[in-house]
Amino acid sequence: MITNFQLTIKNHNLLFLIPIFLLVFLMHACAPEPTQTQEPAGEQERRGELRVALQPIVQTDPAFISSDPEIMIASSVYDYLVDITPQNTIAPRLAREWTVSEDGKVYVFSLIENATFHDGTLFTADDVVWTFDRLRDPDVDSPTKDLYSNIESIEATDQFEVTFKLKESNPFFLYDLSDNHALMLKANTPEPINDFMGTGPFKLVSYSPEDRLVVEANENYFLRDRPSLEKIDFIFFNDQTAQVEALRSGQVDLVMLISADLFNTLQGEPGLIPLEAATNSFDLVRLRADRSPGDDPRLMQALRLATDRQAIFDLVLQGYGALGKDTPIGPMYSQYFSKDLQTPERDIEAAKQLLSEAGYPEGIDLVLHTPDTGNRPNLAVVLKDQWAEAGINVEVKVEPESVYYGDDGWLAVDLGITGWGSRPYPQFYLDTMLVCGANWNESHFCDDEFDRLASLAGTTLNEDERVEAYNQIQALLVERGPTMIPYFFSQLGAISDKFTNFQMKPFPGRSDLSTVRLADQ
């Protein structure tokens, strides 16, 4: 109702409604949901130009974006139905509120009623239906088509109401809706790749590929107190070191996704605020479990026993992150993470013993594949050094990331390191990485008990049951899983102290730039 009044005022300027507006305003001041601030608080002055250093973007169609910079730019121009907060909870965005049926299969969303696209068109339920139909269309072949395969139907049940019906109950459905790709497009957009036509807080001004993309504040944004900034320049740099130097010399105001070493060089730099966000991003060391030599789980156990996690954590991460326990369910998921679970201490003799039991009394030669990005080459080199003591001789093969992931080498090799990004809920990793036959099951792991527990955790509406299932999954993976996860790394960045109110999210590309404002404002 609140938004109906707003529309009326805005469109027809009916002055006699002012007393009612005042009443609504008072009601709203007492409302429990501050994120739903809808009052037309008068046009506040928008000031300041934020210059963000990003790696160049390639993809601009929201259905196919994948890198942090692509997602950051797209989510400035478009909006999600529901968003993720820096604390990993669900927050309303274009969906004002929602109800869930008792069996967990029907979700009804009420939409914001005064949101408009940058061309002035009103945002309605039809746009939601069109966008999600596109995201799950096998012909479009977006990476989300599997994620949304559980949706039976999407209907516009009113101009501002959408109903999703699911085939199976899915306790994480709201998280699925907040997926990086699920940005709302205008219905029947002919070429989403060239469009940049969203409801988002910023409008496109200019884009010159490989150089920069400039956006300005959307004066008609449905959240009237946002954005605070007048303009954002996304400036593209290929090189992380160059980004940091540009920040140091005042040519840009914000950098993200930088290495611990570069981050350390920024400590104590006047005029800069360091940013650190705990995440569930990790580097995975995995051994193919479906063929020799990895089909003997004792080999993976020997690798784990030969590893000194604390030394890796200190050397490679320099303390920015958390120790891992070999399962993708990290400490960030505090309600699901098994705190009491013990990973083995380094024990070279025990590792040698296991190796000889597995048939390698003289040690074993392996090739360790790793992409050339992040801390992965360093991790490989440290593992090589640590494992050598136990007679595990590793030849490191560093490959360009685009080649390693591009031609599916990462799914084929026996022993490899893979970087996995942070997700707001753990089920994603189980379903895509460890369930038998999953698309990205790079270790080719197949375990009936695991599959049963993963399916239970992913469908039950009983939270206690889910916690118990996740606990059992973690114990199972430590006992006979094909993976070793030595650490979860923090995301690091820095922002100029001329700006305030920026909160970096665990997935830095999802950080909300509409809240950022000049520090003196």
Q: According to the binding rule CB under 8 A, does residue 262 interact with other proteins?
A: yes
Q: According to the binding rule CB under 8 A, does residue 264 interact with other proteins?
A: yes
Q: According to the binding rule CB under 8 A, does residue 402 interact with other proteins?
A: no
Q: According to the binding rule CB under 8 A, does residue 346 interact with other proteins?
A: no
**Cβ 51 vs Cβ 251: under 8 Å:** yes
Using the rule CB under 8 A, which residue among 55, 116, 220, 265 binds other proteins? 265
Nearer to other proteins, 80 or 313 (CB): 313
Residue 304's alpha-carbon distances to 135, 166, 478, in angstroms, are 40, 41, 10
**Cβ 26 vs Cβ 220: under 8 Å:** no
Nearer to other proteins, 394 or 477 (CB): 394
**Cβ 199 vs Cβ 222: under 8 Å:** yes
Can you list the positions of beta strands (E) in 251-295?
Answer: 254-255, 272-287
Using the rule CB under 8 A, which residue among 17, 273, 398, 518 binds other proteins? 398
Q: According to the binding rule CB under 8 A, does residue 465 interact with other proteins?
A: no
Q: According to the binding rule CB under 8 A, does residue 381 interact with other proteins?
A: yes
Q: According to the binding rule CB under 8 A, does residue 400 interact with other proteins?
A: yes
Phi, psi of 341 (to 5 degrees): -60, 135
Distance, in Å, from the CA atom of 91 to the CA atom of 97, rounded to the nearest integer, reads: 9
Count CB-CB contacts under 10 A for residue 258.
23
Q: According to the binding rule CB under 8 A, does residue 384 interact with other proteins?
A: yes
- The span from the first CA to the last CA of the chain, in angstroms, equals 32
Which 3 state secondary structure label does DSSP give 203?
Answer: strand
Rounded to the nearest whole angstrom, what is the least distance from the CB of residue 52 to other proteins in the complex? 21
Which of the stretches 117-125, 127-135, 335-343, 393-401 binds other proteins when contact is defined by CB under 8 A? Answer: 393-401
Which of the stretches 20-28, 200-208, 214-222, 260-268 binds other proteins when contact is defined by CB under 8 A? Answer: 260-268
# residues near other proteins by CB under 8 A: 26
Q: According to the binding rule CB under 8 A, does residue 518 interact with other proteins?
A: no
Q: According to the binding rule CB under 8 A, does residue 407 interact with other proteins?
A: no
Q: According to the binding rule CB under 8 A, does residue 110 interact with other proteins?
A: no
Q: According to the binding rule CB under 8 A, does residue 146 interact with other proteins?
A: no
Amino acid at 183: L
Distance, in Å, from the CA atom of 124 to the CA atom of 116, rounded to the nearest integer, reads: 9
Q: According to the binding rule CB under 8 A, does residue 295 interact with other proteins?
A: no
Which of the stretches 19-27, 87-95, 395-403, 465-473 binds other proteins when contact is defined by CB under 8 A? Answer: 395-403
Enumerate residues 17-36 that contact other proteins by CB under 8 A.
Answer: none
Count CB-CB contacts under 10 A for residue 7.
12
Distance, in Å, from the CA atom of 505 to the CA atom of 184, rounded to the nearest integer, reads: 21
Which residues, 6+ apart, have CB-to-CB distance to 283 below 8 Å? 374, 375, 376, 379, 417, 418, 419, 420, 485, 486, 487, 489
Nearer to other proteins, 382 or 477 (CB): 382
Tokens of 211: 């150089």
Using the rule CB under 8 A, which residue among 290, 395, 407, 449 binds other proteins? 395
**Cβ 104 vs Cβ 174: under 8 Å:** no
Rounded to the nearest whole angstrom, what is the least distance from the CB of residue 234 to other proteins in the complex? 23
Q: Kindly state the DSSP code that residue 36 receives in the 8-state scheme.
A: G
Rounded to the nearest whole angstrom, what is the least distance from the CB of residue 201 to other proteins in the complex? 34
Amino acid at 407: D
Enumerate residues 218-247 that contact other proteins by CB under 8 A.
Answer: 240-241
**Cβ 404 vs Cβ 376: under 8 Å:** no
Enumerate residues 309-338 that contact other proteins by CB under 8 A.
Answer: 311, 314-316
Nearer to other proteins, 234 or 237 (CB): 237
Q: Is residue 32 reached through a cis peptide bond, with omega within 30 degrees of 0 on the bond before it?
A: no
- The single residue listed with the structure tokens 């595990």 is 392
Using the rule CB under 8 A, which residue among 56, 344, 377, 421 binds other proteins? 377
Using the rule CB under 8 A, which residue among 261, 296, 401, 451 binds other proteins? 261
Residue 470: burial class (beta carbons within 10 Å; 0-12, 13-18, 19+):
buried
Interacting residues with other proteins (CB under 8 A): 240-241, 259, 261-262, 264-265, 311, 314-316, 372, 377-378, 380-382, 384-386, 395-400
